[in-house]
Chains A and B, each alone.
Chain A
Amino acid sequence: MASAVALGTPFRLVGRPLPRHDARDKVAAATAYAADWAMPGMLHAAVLRSPYPSARIVKLETAGAQRMPGVAVVLTAKDVPRNTLSTDVPGQTTAVGPLRATLYVLALERVRHQGEPVALVAAETLEQARAAAEAIDVEYEPVPGVFGPEAALAPGAPRVHEGGNVLAEWRIARGDLAAAFARAAVVVEGEYATQLVDAASLEPEAGVAWIDSDGVITIRVSTQVIEHFRDVAEALQVPQNRVRVIGTYLGGGFGGKEDVTVEVYLGLLALKTGRPVRMVWTRQESLLARAKRHPYRMRYRTGALATGEIVAQQIELLADAGAYAYLSALVLLYSTVTAAGPYRAPAVRVEARVAYTNNPPTSAMRGFGAMQTVFAYESQIDQIARALGLDPVEVRGVNALRRGDSLPVGQVLETHVALPELAARAWAALGPPTPPRAPHVRVGRGLACNFQPYGRIVWLHDWSSAWVGFEMDGSLVVRCGVPDVGGGQASSLGQIAAEVLGVDFDRVSLHISDSALTPLAGTTTASRQLYMSGNAVLKAARELRAQILSVAASLLGADPTALDLADGDVVTRDGRTLPLPTVLSQCARVGVPRSHLAVYHAPAGEPVDLATGSGKVFPDYTFGAHAAEVEVDTETGAVRVLKYAAAHDVGRAINPQSVEGQIQGGAVQGLGYGLMEEVVVEEGVNLTTSFASYLVPSAADVPDVDPIVVESGEGLGPFGARGIGEPPIGPPAAAVANAIADATGARVTRLPLTAERVAAALGLLRT
């Protein structure tokens, strides 16, 4: 088997399921999340939002609200020094020209979606702030809007923005499609629809801003991207070095905190009032207005030979961007590159479009466009297997990409692809079949594979930096600007540094996520932090190790290569030890630094022309295979997942506990997407603005998820690790849909797979 790449266990700490350094405080409710922060003299902020999905603001009068008790300031678009934010690509990488998109800090004359921010209030109490926001005198004149991407692209549709409703288009054209379909023994056609969903992190958007004693605008905020300090500076028209973002531990992000949320508002209010200000979005406004996952319409036509070998894929994708661009163009790019799945296909056409509408805006969410397509391509390959009488594991093995293959976009895969092994192991993990518990119940099984890029698009020239240093007593400090969203991002870095430098994990102090005091590490998005910052920390730790050992070697009169760092000492092969503090003192004496700052640059490349398939788009991919056993009630359509196994080649599990947590969490979030979650929007009006109507799975709704961690050792991250943050959310919806088809013969092509949709597919709703 492929994973027989011999890894051995040459590590002290890497590969051990160490409890995270931040776990205890979280369990004990001692972690100070963004909304927990309070300061003397702090004001409380509220946002006034548009009730209409599409309207002109004909009157906006704040004088009355300004005079209300406790009100410090009321701000509208005209009070924002620079009211446009450019969301090219957040963070530290270079601009990407054509993908540059604009949104407004506060609505100016026009609102384009329900919940769009119109005005800000800061007051002595939250109640006063809310009362004042409500008292702002706004008059809207509703104007016709468009509420679906098809409608948006129809001739004569109202324009959401000047320049038309097409936000972005991508195309791939590889091979001779007509000839390939002519060779096919079977052609499967399908139309799939995925729904609008919310990141639904338990912690809402929140933060506190203040002006520090040096005049720096300081914002302590729940964010995946501390580099938004630059966006704040731009909006406030102050130098970038006068804004500092301190990132907190997150109560969940999932992409929902990748774009700017409260930061600019807080910076503005602190600047205008000179006082600390806190803003916490309510669950209702978060569900109403925060950017969500794109709904897709996907049309697939897949041709395969009698062997099951796929020869042709013709794919059309249409996504709903909502009212503002955010990261839609990039999300669509991910969909386009992954649309044909982790399979060989000599002839591929992809035509992908994303359109503006007056629906809630959509942007990043875990999986980032590489997720919606899984539902379609895995439903397709399952139908090919059924049509040809092939086993689901076998058909995927026949088609799986291998090292050296090129994707339809032209990128050659340079690392091991464990797909056949992953599929076989996930499938086998379901064990003996569960007998149906009643005559009206059928049990079936489904498999779904996926691949997800980790790391940024190569022409964004991604980098991360980290500082690792010893204190005089031999304790270790790691400084890295990584936001920890709850996936164990920070702890894994500590584990890597401790591994290389031979100290116990509890001798490491981690300082993270501060744009002024920690080296910038880029965003905690794109499954990139372990890969990028892990490599930066590894590089810094290895350099530091070399520095320390060279000094120790001169003290011991030994060859540095014969020395090791272990248990807080320098040790020689012949068993002599030198206490680390002794070596560290010597470092100071001879002028060798006890710290190192390293920058890791990802492999870079030039923009590729997707249509002609000219080359590399992403650094690498993480592959996965999930298997589900479900029971379907053939009288009600109700689906219950009985067993679930999720296998991923993670390259190397730095901390298996965190890796398994990511796999289980991703699978459960993916099951919520597959089975029940849906933001219901009628004519731009969001009907699901509380957790009583936006339904996320409860403990009663999810099975145990059996995580299968495969370590090929072939990732681009530290010690061969691959990214695992996003990949596990991809396959669940398709795995369940395939299991429903296996159980009943009914294929549901629209998410979520509710009892009612399954009942309809079973023909139960015909009267």
Chain B
Amino acid sequence: MLRLPPFTYLAPRTVDDAAKALASHGGAAMLVAGGTDLYPNMKRRQFEPSVLVGLLAIRELRGVRGGAREGVTLGSCTTLSAVAVHPEIAAHYPALATAAGLVSSPQLRNMGTIGGNVCVDTRCNYYNQSYEWRKAVGFCMKRDGAICLVAPRSPRCWAVSSSDTAPVLWSLGARVRLRSAAGERTIPVETLFRDDGIEYLAKRPDEILTDILLPPADGWRSAYLKLRRRGSFDFPVLGVAVAVQMEGDVVRDARIVVGAVASQPRPAPAAAAALVGGRLTSELIARVAELAAGPAKPLDNTDFTHPYRKKMTRVFVARALASLAGLAPAGEPAAEVA
């Protein structure tokens, strides 16, 4: 088996202590919660921090507060399992419960956290390999190297945002709270992400994602569909999050965000705008699905080829909207797995 490189593990009890530890170790330290993504990456030497600041002992980071009427706040270290089965989330933010419940496997959802999934490292066929493999093939710019092996003339890294929950939170209009030794800020979740495979988060290294704030449910309905080869384990190679706010049978507002097709979740504002003011008929859904497939620009650096993933974007957007319109049986989310 691959082994973890040596490191010092700190287990602060408060966010303040964690922020101080992070500040005092500078670039040598990284944050870890469930470790389901970071530890395997460390074994492959994608990261070699000398200090890990563990967040699991911080009680204030765990749990779900509030309700659909006034908005829900999720502590960033709430496990994905807990998010998936939380009654208030399942009832009023169903896309989030679905997405959390589709991450990896039950064991990993029991350890993995919602904050960790939002911040999960971007992925690429040429990056998610052992050190020896990467050394043999030639290191890529995301770690240890200078070029992109997917697009050799590219000045940037094309690693793919592989979070199930990030596109959903974006579609729900969520905000995130970031704290550091220097202070605190709350920002819309979409501004947390950057379109770069390496610097994919706008969060500063000294900042800790402490809370995820969902707005009042307020008539919003939501759905999430995921494409992957198997019924478990696999990261999404396409994730479609849709949210519509209904007023009677007319769409008052809508958001469509597509995951796993770029280095950050991709919104489809034109498609969403086409929904507003209309009724969720099959005709409108077909037109919107066509528009939504536009922004998806997948590269061939995950499972399945990009023409297929792009084609599936249209199908998945249509299905997600149809399920919100009651036009198709919502079914089990797993039934949509390709």
Chain A residues with CB under 8 Å of chain B are 49, 51-52, 114, 126-127, 134, 280, 282-284, 288, 437-438, 633, 635-638, 640, 676, 685, 687, 689-690, 692-693, 695, 697-701, 754-756, 759-760, 764-765, 767
CB-based contact A437/B311 at 8 Å: no
> Which of B2, B135, B230, B305 has a CB less than 8 Å from the CB of A700?
B230
Q: A437-B331, A638-B337, A698-B231 are in contact. Are A284 and B312 (CB under 8 A)?
A: no
Q: Which of B126, B130, B304, B328 has the largest number of chain A CB atoms within 10 A? A: B130
Q: A114-B136, A636-B315 are in contact. Are A690 and B128 (CB under 8 A)?
A: yes
> Which of A288, A676, A700, A759 has a CB less than 8 Å from the CB of B308?
A759
**Interface contacts beyond A637-B338, A765-B308: sample of 16 additional A-B pairs, CB < 8 Å, sorted by A:** A282-B130, A635-B315, A635-B319, A636-B315, A638-B338, A685-B136, A690-B128, A690-B130, A692-B128, A695-B303, A700-B231, A700-B232, A754-B229, A755-B304, A756-B304, A765-B311
Q: A636-B315, A692-B128 are in contact. Are A126 and B231 (CB under 8 A)?
A: no
Contacts of B337 in A (CB 8 A): 638
Q: Which B residue sits closest to A126, measured CB to CB?
A: B3
Q: Main secondary structure on chain A at its contact with chain B?
A: loop
- What are the 9 closest A-B residue pairs judged by CB atoms, nearest first? A51-B136, A700-B231, A638-B338, A755-B338, A698-B232, A756-B308, A700-B232, A284-B130, A635-B315
Q: Which B residue sits closest to A698, measured CB to CB?
A: B232
| Those of B221-279 within 8 Å (CB) of chain A | 227, 229-235
- Cβ distance B181 to chain A, nearest Cβ, rounded Å: 35
CB-based contact A693/B125 at 8 Å: yes
Q: Which B residue sits closest to A636, measured CB to CB?
A: B338
A-B residue pairs in contact (CB < 8 Å), sample of 6:
A114-B136, A637-B338, A685-B136, A685-B137, A693-B128, A755-B308
| Those of B281-338 within 8 Å (CB) of chain A | 303-305, 307-308, 311-312, 315, 319, 328-329, 331, 334-335, 337-338
Q: Which B residue sits closest to A439, measured CB to CB?
A: B328
- Cβ distance A442 to chain B, nearest Cβ, rounded Å: 14
Residue B132 CB within 8 A of the other chain: yes
Q: Which A residue sits closest to B335, measured CB to CB?
A: A437
Contacts of B130 in A (CB 8 A): 282, 284, 689-690
- Cβ distance A309 to chain B, nearest Cβ, rounded Å: 40
| Cα–Cα distance between A750 and B200 once the two chains are bound (Å) | 37
CB-based contact A765/B338 at 8 Å: no
Q: Which B residue sits closest to A687, measured CB to CB?
A: B125
- Binary contact track B134-147/A, C-beta < 8 Å → 1, others 0: 01110000000000
CB-based contact B125/A759 at 8 Å: no
Chain B residues with CB under 8 Å of chain A are 1-3, 40, 105, 125-126, 128-130, 132-133, 135-137, 227, 229-235, 303-305, 307-308, 311-312, 315, 319, 328-329, 331, 334-335, 337-338
- Cβ distance B128 to chain A, nearest Cβ, rounded Å: 6
- Cβ distance B247 to chain A, nearest Cβ, rounded Å: 29
CB-based contact B133/A284 at 8 Å: yes
CB-based contact A51/B137 at 8 Å: yes
> Which of A114, A134, A284, A695 has a CB less than 8 Å from the CB of B2?
A284
> Which of B229, B235, B307 has a CB less than 8 Å from the CB of A765?
B307
| Cα–Cα distance between A288 and B235 once the two chains are bound (Å) | 22
CB-based contact A288/B231 at 8 Å: no
Q: Which A residue sits closest to B302, measured CB to CB?
A: A693
Q: Which B residue sits closest to A675, measured CB to CB?
A: B229
Contacts of B125 in A (CB 8 A): 687, 693
- Cβ distance B304 to chain A, nearest Cβ, rounded Å: 5
| Cα–Cα distance between A697 and B307 once the two chains are bound (Å) | 25
Q: Which B residue sits closest to A204, measured CB to CB?
A: B1
> Which of A52, A692, A695, A767 has a CB less than 8 Å from the CB of B136?
A52
> Which of B133, B232, B234 has a CB less than 8 Å from the CB of A699?
B232
Contacts of A635 in B (CB 8 A): 315, 319
Contacts of B128 in A (CB 8 A): 690, 692-693
Q: A690-B129, A699-B232 are in contact. Are A282 and B312 (CB under 8 A)?
A: no
CB-based contact A754/B234 at 8 Å: no
Contacts of A759 in B (CB 8 A): 308, 311
- Cβ distance B109 to chain A, nearest Cβ, rounded Å: 14
| Cα–Cα distance between A437 and B235 once the two chains are bound (Å) | 26
| Cα–Cα distance between A767 and B331 once the two chains are bound (Å) | 28
CB-based contact B135/A127 at 8 Å: no
Contacts of A754 in B (CB 8 A): 229, 304
CB-based contact A698/B308 at 8 Å: no
CB-based contact B234/A695 at 8 Å: yes
Contacts of A676 in B (CB 8 A): 229-230
- Cβ distance A758 to chain B, nearest Cβ, rounded Å: 9
CB-based contact A636/B136 at 8 Å: no
Contacts of B304 in A (CB 8 A): 754-756
- Cβ distance A708 to chain B, nearest Cβ, rounded Å: 26
| Cα–Cα distance between A280 and B234 once the two chains are bound (Å) | 27
Contacts of A126 in B (CB 8 A): 3
| Cα–Cα distance between A700 and B232 once the two chains are bound (Å) | 6
- Cβ distance A677 to chain B, nearest Cβ, rounded Å: 10
- Cβ distance B138 to chain A, nearest Cβ, rounded Å: 9
Q: Which B residue sits closest to A757, measured CB to CB?
A: B308
- Cβ distance B320 to chain A, nearest Cβ, rounded Å: 13
Q: A689-B129, A689-B130 are in contact. Are A695 and B315 (CB under 8 A)?
A: no
- Cβ distance A375 to chain B, nearest Cβ, rounded Å: 19
Q: A437-B335, A756-B305, A765-B307 are in contact. Are A636 and B2 (CB under 8 A)?
A: no
| Cα–Cα distance between A412 and B183 once the two chains are bound (Å) | 85
Contacts of A49 in B (CB 8 A): 132
| Cα–Cα distance between A767 and B132 once the two chains are bound (Å) | 41
Q: A284-B132, A689-B130 are in contact. Are A701 and B231 (CB under 8 A)?
A: yes
Contacts of A636 in B (CB 8 A): 227, 312, 315, 338
| Cα–Cα distance between A685 and B129 once the two chains are bound (Å) | 12
| Cα–Cα distance between A283 and B3 once the two chains are bound (Å) | 12
Q: Which B residue sits closest to A50, measured CB to CB?
A: B136
Q: Which of B233, B235, B308, B334 has the largest number of chain A CB atoms within 10 A? A: B308
Contacts of B129 in A (CB 8 A): 687, 689-690
> Which of A438, A755, A764 has a CB less than 8 Å from the CB of B328?
A438
